[in-house]
C-alpha cells in the first residue's frame, strides 16, 4: 500500500504506528515510490544522537532539481509551476510553466558554472521575492552548489556576517526591491556589506531600474548572461548526504547558526509533508505567503511543492498594499486552494474592516495553514470563521529551520482541529515532553519541554563549520534527544499545544530574534554600560521587544529620547529594522544574581506587567533595583 497520501484518521494512526515501529521501512517505501534516484541507497538510516550523526539514504545519488523539474516535463510540461504576483497589482502576474522553469534554471546553472561555481561552493542569494529567487536556488542545486539565502530585509552587517561565516564565492542580488509603496536599495546594502568581505563577483538582477553603482570587474548584470546561456544543463550527481543549502537562524547568544540541510532526506521529507499537510491535488493552486529568505519559503514555496509538481504562488509584496484586502484579492484572482500564512499576518488583517475579507470570493480555499509562532485563540477563530467560513480546516503547523519540514500538524479533513493546538505528530515524528530534571513525561495531560526522540529525514545535520555548537545546542540538554527550545503540553487525547520558547529567543512578527546579539549591538553604543532585552506580548506582532538599558552616566529625558533613537538605529544597522525595540527603559542597574547573571525572568515579568509573580528576589545581589525598575516601567 502506498502511504503517500493519508485519507482518514484511522489510516493516520495505522500508518503512524508503522512509521514509528519500522521507521526505516516506512521512509524507504516513500523514497522508493515517489522520487527519481540515479542510484538507490545502500542503507536507509544510520544515526547516533550523541556524536551527533545522522545519515539518510546513504550511498544514494540524485539531483533534487531532476525531481522538481525534469521528471514533470512529460506529464506537466505546460502546467504552471510558479505564479508570480508582483508587488504592484497593476503589473501583470506571470505564469511560469514547468518547461519554462526548467529552461530558466538550466540557463542560470550555466551562468553559475561560467562564473566558476562548482559542486560544494557556497552562493549567497540576497534577492527580493521575484521568480529569479526560486530560479537561483534551483540553479545552485543543479550545479551542486550550496545556496545561502539571506532574507532581503536583513542589514548589510547581517549579510556580511553570513557571507563570511559560510565563505561564499559569489553574491546574487537585485538593483532594488519593492515593498508596498516603498522601494529598497538592495544593491547599496550589498555594496556596504562587501566592504567587509572578499567577494569576486556580484550578479545583479534588474528589478526596480534604480540608479545604482556597478563596481568594475566585480558587478555584472545577470540578464545579458542569461540571454547568452544554453538552456541545457546536465544536473550534477549528488550524494543524498551532500549539503543542499545553509540557512542561518538566530541563537539566543552568539552569532547566527548556519543550519546545514542535505539533499535526499530533505527532499523526501518536504515533499511528503507538503502532500499530506496541504492535501494538494493535481490542479490546485497553492500559496504560501512566507519569504523564501526563511525556511518556510525554502521548504514550502520551492522544494516541497515543486517536488510534487504543484502550482506554487510567489507574492512579491506586503499584506497591506495597496490596501489590507490584498491577500484576499490575490486568493480570488488566482483561485488559491491552499493558503499558508503566519499568525502575525492574521492578527494584523483581523484588525481591519471586515469588508476587505467579505467583498471577495474566497470559495476556492480548501485548506488554511499557520506557521511561525503559537496562534492565539482569537486569531484562530477569526481565521476559521471569516476566511475559512467555518468549513476549511486550519493546519497549525509546528516546525523549525532545524527540522527542515513540518513536525506537528493536523492533516486536513483527517485530524479534527482544536484552536491553538498543532495537534498530532507528523508520520515518523516521535515527540517527547521532558521535565526540568531530564525525565520524560509519559502519558497525557502533561506539560514540559519539547524534544524529538528519533531522527527524521528532513532534520539539519550540523551547523556550518561548528559541529560542536550543533551538539551543544540541540543534543546536550537531554540525553539522546533533539531539544527544540520550545515548551509544549499534551492534552487528554494526545494533542500537542506549543506554548512558546523556553530559551532567550523572542519571536517578533514571526521572526526569531536571539536577545544576546541584540544586546551586543546596544552595548556597542558608547553611552551604554549594559542592557537586557526581553519579549512582551503584542497584539499584532505576537511579541515585541522591551529593552532595559543602564547607562554609564545618567542623563535627562531629552538626552534619553535621542539615545532611544540611536539605540534603535544601531539595532537596524547590526541586525535589521525588524529587530527594533518597542520600549526602552533606562535604569540605574539591572537585577543580578550573586554570580552576576542578569535575572531576565524578573525583567520579563515586569515587561509583561505581571508584578504579582516576580518570584523570589531575595537571592539577588541588588534586590532594591527591582522596585526602582517597576516604578519607572514604560
Nearer to ligand 6R9, 311 or 484 (CB): 484
Smallest gap from Cβ 425 to ligand 6R9, in A, equals 13
The site for ligand 6R9 (CB under 6 A) is made up of 249, 294-296, 370-374, 396-401, 422, 484-486, 498, 501, 507, 512
Residues with Cβ within 8 Å of residue 590, at least 6 apart in sequence: 530, 531, 532, 548, 550, 598, 603, 625
Q: Which residue is nearest to ligand 6R9 (CB)?
A: 401
Dist. CA 141–CA 167, nearest whole Å:
17
Instruction: Work out how close the CB of 211 gets to ligand 6R9 at its nearest, in angstroms, rounded to a whole number.
Output: 35
**CB contact at 8 A, 294 and 200:** no
Is the Cβ of residue 307 or residue 422 nearer to ligand 6R9 in the bound state?
A: 422
Judged by beta carbon, residue 309 or residue 372, the one nearer ligand 6R9 is 372
In the complex with ligand 6R9, the residue whose CB is nearer, 177 or 409, is 409
Alpha carbons 628 and 619: distance in angstroms, whole number: 17
| Distance of closest approach, residue 135 Cβ to ligand 6R9, in angstroms | 23
To ligand 6R9, the closest distance from the beta carbon of 373 in angstroms equals 5
Q: Cβ closer to ligand 6R9: 319 or 535?
A: 535
| CB nearer to ligand 6R9: pick between 325 and 343 | 343
From the number of C-beta atoms within 10 Å of its C-beta (0-12, 13-18, 19+), residue 556 rates as exposed
Closest contact distance (angstroms) between CB of 295 and ligand 6R9 is: 5
**Please, are residues 267 and 35 in contact by the beta-carbon 8 Å criterion?**
yes
Q: Which helix (H) or strand (E) covers residue 178, if one does? A: strand 177-179
| Closer residue to ligand 6R9, CB minimum distance, 401 or 509 | 401
Which three cell numbers, joined as nine digits, stand for 485? Answer: 527550545
- CA 271 to chain centroid, in Å, comes to 17
Q: How far is the CB of 40 from ligand 6R9 (least distance, A)?
A: 31
Burial 341-371 (b: 16+ CB within 10 A, else e): bbbbbbbbbbeeeeebbeebebeebbbbbbb
Minimum CB–partner distance for residue 507 and ligand 6R9 (Å): 6
Q: Encode burial over 26-42: b for 16+ CB neighbours within 10 A, e otherwise.
A: bbbbbbeebbebeeebe
Q: How far is the CB of 148 from ligand 6R9 (least distance, A)?
A: 16
Between CA 534 and CA 514 the distance in angstroms is 10
Dihedral sign for Cα atoms in the order 496, 369, 56, 136: negative
Q: Closest CB to ligand 6R9 among 178 and 496? A: 496
Q: How far is the CB of 270 from ligand 6R9 (least distance, A)?
A: 12
Neighbours of 381 (CB within 10 A): 17
C-beta closer to ligand 6R9: residue 67 or 401? 401
C-alpha cell read off for 80: 504552471
Distance of alpha carbon 1 from its chain centroid, rounded?
33
Residue 448 three-state SS = strand
Least spacing, CB of residue 262 vs ligand 6R9, in Å? 17
> In terms of CB distance, is 3 or 501 closer to ligand 6R9?
501
Amino acid at each position: 500500500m502506498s502511504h503517500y497520501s493519508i485519507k482518514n484518521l484511522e489510516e493516520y494512526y495505522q500508518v503512524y504506528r508503522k512509521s514509528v515501529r519500522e521507521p526505516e521501512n516506512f521512509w524507504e517505501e516513500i523514497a522508493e515510490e515517489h522520487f527519481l534516484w540515479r542510484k538507490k541507497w545502500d542503507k536507509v538510516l544510520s544515526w547516533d544522537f550523541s556524536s551527533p550523526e545522522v545519515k539518510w539514504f546513504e550511498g544514494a545519488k540524485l539531483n533534487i532539481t531532476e525531481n522538481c523539474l525534469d521528471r514533470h516535463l512529460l506529464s506537466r510540461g505546460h502546467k504552471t509551476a510558479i505564479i508570480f504576483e508582483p508587488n504592484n497589482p497593476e503589473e501583470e502576474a506571470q505564469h511560469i510553466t514547468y518547461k519554462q522553469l526548467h529552461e530558466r534554471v538550466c540557463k542560470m546553472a550555466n551562468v553559475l558554472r561560467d562564473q566558476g561555481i562548482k559542486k560544494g561552493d557556497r552562493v549567497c542569494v540576497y534577492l527580493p521575492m521575484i521568480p529569479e529567487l526560486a530560479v537561483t536556488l534551483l540553479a545552485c542545486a543543479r550545479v551542486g552548489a550550496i545556496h545561502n539565502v539571506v532574507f532581503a530585509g536583513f542589514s548589510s552587517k547581517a549579510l556580511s556576517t553570513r557571507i563570511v561565516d559560510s565563505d561564499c564565492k559569489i553574491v546574487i542580488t537585485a538593483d532594488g526591491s519593492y515593498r508596498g509603496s516603498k522601494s529598497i536599495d538592495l544593491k547599496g546594502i550589498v555594496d556596504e556589506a562587501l566592504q567587509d568581505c572578499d567577494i569576486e563577483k556580484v550578479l545583479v538582477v534588474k528589478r526596480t531600474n534604480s540608479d545604482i553603482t556597478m563596481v568594475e570587474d566585480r558587478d555584472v548584470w545577470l540578464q545579458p548572461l542569461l540571454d547568452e546561456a544554453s538552456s541545457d544543463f546536465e544536473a550534477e550527481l549528488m550524494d543524498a548526504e551532500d549539503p543542499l543549502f545553509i540557512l542561518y537562524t538566530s541563537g539566543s547568544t552568539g552569532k547566527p547558526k548556519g543550519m546545514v540541510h542535505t539533499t535526499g532526506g530533505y527532499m523526501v521529507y518536504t515533499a511528503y509533508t507538503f502532500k499530506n499537510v496541504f492535501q494538494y491535488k493535481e490542479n490546485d493552486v497553492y500559496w504560501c505567503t512566507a519569504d523564501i529568505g526563511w525556511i518556510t519559503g525554502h521548504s514550502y514555496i520551492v522544494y516541497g511543492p515543486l517536488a510534487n509538481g504543484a502550482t506554487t504562488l510567489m507574492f512579491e509584496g506586503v499584506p497591506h498594499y495597496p490596501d489590507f484586502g490584498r491577500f484576499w484579492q490575490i486568493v480570488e484572482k488566482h483561485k488559491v486552494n491552499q493558503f499558508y500564512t503566519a499568525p502575525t499576518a492574521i492578527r494584523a488583517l483581523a484588525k481591519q474592516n471586515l469588508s476587505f475579507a467579505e467583498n471577495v470570493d474566497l470559495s476556492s480555499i480548501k485548506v488554511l495553514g499557520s506557521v511561525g509562532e503559537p496562534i492565539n485563540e482569537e486569531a484562530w477563530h477569526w481565521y476559521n470563521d471569516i476566511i475559512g467560513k467555518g468549513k476549511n480546516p486550519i493546519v497549525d503547523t509546528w516546525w523549525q529551520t532545524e527540522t527542515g519540514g513540518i513536525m506537528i500538524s493536523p492533516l486536513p479533513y483527517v485530524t479534527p482541529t482544536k484552536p491553538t493546538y498543532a495537534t498530532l505528530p507528523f508520520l515518523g515524528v516521535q515527540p517527547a515532553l521532558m521535565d526540568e530534571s531530564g525525565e520524560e513525561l509519559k502519558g497525557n495531560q502533561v506539560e514540559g519541554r519539547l524534544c524529538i526522540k528519533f531522527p527524521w529525514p528532513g532534520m539539519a545535520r550540523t551547523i556550518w563549520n561548528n559541529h560542536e555548537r550543533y551538539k551543544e545546542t540541540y543534543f546536550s540538554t537531554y540525553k539522546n534527544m533533539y531539544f527544540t527550545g520550545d515548551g509544549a503540553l499534551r492534552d487528554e487525547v494526545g494533542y500537542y499545544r506549543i506554548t512558546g520558547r523556553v530559551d532567550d529567543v523572542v519571536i517578533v512578527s514571526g521572526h526569531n530574534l536571539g536577545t544576546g546579539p541584540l544586546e551586543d549591538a546596544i552595548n556597542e553604543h558608547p553611552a551604554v554600560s549594559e542592557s537586557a532585552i526581553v519579549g512582551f506580548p503584542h497584539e499584532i506582532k505576537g511579541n515585541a521587544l522591551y529593552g532595559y538599558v543602564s547607562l554609564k552616566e545618567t542623563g535627562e529625558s531629552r538626552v534619553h529620547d535621542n539615545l532611544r533613537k540611536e539605540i534603535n538605529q544601531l539595532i537596524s544597522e547590526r541586525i535589521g529594522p525588524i529587530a527594533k525595540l518597542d520600549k526602552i527603559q533606562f535604569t540605574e542597574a539591572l537585577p543580578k544574581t550573586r554570580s552576576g547573571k542578569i535575572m531576565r525572568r524578573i525583567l520579563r515579568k515586569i515587561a509583561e506587567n505581571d508584578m504579582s509573580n516576580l518570584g523570589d528576589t531575595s537571592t539577588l545581589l541588588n534586590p532594591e533595583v527591582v522596585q526602582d525598575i517597576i516604578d519607572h516601567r514604560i
